[in-house]
Structure 1
Amino acid sequence: MELIRITRENIEKEHICCAISSNKDCQVQSKKAWLTERLDQGLVFLKGDVRGKCFIEYIPAEYAWAPIEADGYLYIDCLWVSGQFKGHGYSNLLLEECIRDAKSQGKRGLAVLSSEKKLGFLSDPKYLKYKGFQTVDAAEPNFRLMALPFETQTELPRFSPRLKQAAAQVPQTGFALYYTSQCPFTAKYVPLLEAICRDRNVPIQTVHITTTEQAQSAPCPYTAFSLYWNGEFVTHEIPSEKKFEKLLTDRGL
């Protein structure tokens, strides 16, 4: 498989947003705008020459949209290979290219957000361990920061000390939703969830994180989407309309 690196010159013609195909889709427009703004910071979106989920996205950790401290590392936003592309070694191909790139830049290693057990939207901890990653920090309820240092004496990444402080400042009444445009699906689903809450008279506050500084001071390690109810974390996985309505019903709302 040929790998294609997204640039300002080819971003309009290349398929980048998971299974979404049309450039007119609000999700595609949102994601491509977010990517374009990050390219000068060293963000890399590397994809297979296919129309589907087969890509890796990473950025120097100093610019990562996550509350971490990992100077000198590359931070993997997303490594996603699924559907018909699974089982062909493409995850290895993408990760190995990321490692090669990191070493060519003189980086200390790689960092990535995972979980205690495999969860949606997060890198598989079993696969990462197989590739040599180690767990270097943990955050409630089940987030794990994993790293692949290139040298044994290298300082390891950690979650930002500001994480607990930010979590304590989450609104204590109703839903609070923090999200970014890093994930294309938020452009579609955040307005839908807001509309459902309006229809049911359920209070919801949405916070669109639009800068690196805001993301690095966020209350949740996964900044693309984090949902709270009365100050308690609910999920980082974007629910469909049906799942969200069930979530409300289960809470008597």
Structure 2
Amino acid sequence: MSDQFINLTEDNLAQEHLCCIIRSKKPHPGVEDKRAWLRERLREGHVFRKLDAKGVVFIEYAPLETAWVPVEGDNYLYIYCLWVNGDFKGKGYGRQLMEYCLADARAKGKSGVCMLGAEKQKAWLSDQAFAEKHGFETVDTTPDGYRLLALSFDGTTPRFAKNAKQLEIEQQELTVYYSDQCPYIHQSVELVRKTCQELEASYTLIPVDTLEKAKDLPCVFNNWAVFYHGKFVTVNLLDAAALKRLLKK
């Protein structure tokens, strides 16, 4: 195993492992959707840095102005994901990736770095306690317990967009907003279709396929958001059991 890190580029994107734990001998639709999404984002300053190994050791961040999240602020970077999994834990990789991001932000003259958190750690959000050890603090909150964490270099702070605190929509049926930012989204969308059809439950799937749509979302968002009975539920990807429990409410 190499301790060397590499950044994805348009030249190496096609052949590099994308650090998810999806295992498939054939091209996986979710992984290929992510590659297509990422190819466009790299041109906007998006950074995907990973350990040069087939494992889950990576950080993914972007200029806040072009990050597909309903967060506002001037001259910040936004961290989508920072993950170290399995046997790679405990080797200092997470620290190295975070330090790289912070150094990159300072070198580019950014005002700071921010990320999504919650009062109670969510399964599909990066470890906020780890971020807090690096100086991140809560700078904004939503009424349902999500937090915007930031490390400011100049005293300025980002904020959730006003619409991100709306947390309500007109649709009463299960409604899911999603983007192709995560390789797991494809199979999660298919699971929603299959489960709702089995239960004969109404549902709406809304692809977030432009920056404008992402910035205007009625809730917090990293790549997935669920509403039911018109109320925001979670940013967590749902397995079949969790989805069935939700639909019975």
**Does the alignment reach a TM-score above 0.5?**
yes
Please state how far the C-alpha of 1:223 moved relative to its aligned partner: 4.0
Structure 1 unaligned spans of 5+: none
TM-score (norm 2): 0.94
Q: Which residue of 1 aligns with 2:202?
A: 203
Please state how far the C-alpha of 1:116 moved relative to its aligned partner: 1.1
Please state how far the C-alpha of 1:102 moved relative to its aligned partner: 0.8
1:46 and 2:49 are equivalent in the alignment: yes
Kept after mapping to 2: 8 A contact 1:178/1:223: no
1:88 and 2:91 are equivalent in the alignment: yes
Q: Which residue of 1 aligns with 2:129?
A: 126
Alignment of 1:98-113 (within 5 A): 98-113=101-116
Please state how far the C-alpha of 1:17 moved relative to its aligned partner: 4.0
Please state how far the C-alpha of 1:143 moved relative to its aligned partner: 0.9
Please state how far the C-alpha of 1:164 moved relative to its aligned partner: 3.4
Kept after mapping to 1: 8 A contact 2:163/2:219: no
- The residue type equivalent to 1:163 in the other structure is A
- The residue type equivalent to 1:228 in the other structure is F
CA distance in 1, matches of 2:229, 2:171: 4
Q: Which residue of 2 aligns with 1:189?
A: 188
Q: Counterpart of 2:35 in 1: which secondary structure? A: helix
TM-score (norm 1): 0.92
Q: Counterpart of 1:28 in 2: which secondary structure? A: helix
Kept after mapping to 2: 8 A contact 1:227/1:233: yes
Question: Which stretches of structure 1, 4 residues or more, deviate above 3 A after TM superposition?
Answer: none
2:27 to 24, 29, 51: 24
Q: Which residue of 1 aligns with 2:146?
A: 143
CA displacement, residues 123-162 of structure 1 (integer Å, 9 cap, x when unaligned): 22221111101100001312100111113xx311111123
Q: Counterpart of 1:20 in 2: which secondary structure? A: coil
Kept after mapping to 2: 8 A contact 1:114/1:144: yes
CA distance in 1, matches of 2:68, 2:227: 19
CA distance in 2, matches of 1:171, 1:187: 25
- The residue type equivalent to 1:112 in the other structure is M
Same amino acid, percent of matched pairs:
39
Q: Which residue of 2 aligns with 1:158?
A: 159
1:69 to 68, 72, 83: 72
Kept after mapping to 2: 8 A contact 1:55/1:80: yes
Kept after mapping to 1: 8 A contact 2:176/2:226: yes
CA distance in 2, matches of 1:172, 1:36: 33
Q: How many residues align?
A: 246
CA displacement, residues 77-112 of structure 1 (integer Å, 9 cap, x when unaligned): 111111111111111000001111111111111011
Kept after mapping to 1: 8 A contact 2:80/2:222: no
Please state how far the C-alpha of 1:244 moved relative to its aligned partner: 2.1
CA distance in 1, matches of 2:122, 2:44: 29
Name the stretch that deviates more: 218-227 or 201-210.
218-227
Please state how far the C-alpha of 1:21 moved relative to its aligned partner: 4.5
Q: Which residue of 2 aligns with 1:11?
A: 13
Q: Counterpart of 1:41 in 2: which secondary structure? A: coil
CA displacement, residues 191-219 of structure 1 (integer Å, 9 cap, x when unaligned): 22112112221111111000111001111
CA distance in 1, matches of 2:114, 2:207: 24
CA distance in 2, matches of 1:21, 1:41: 29
Structure 2 unaligned spans of 5+: none
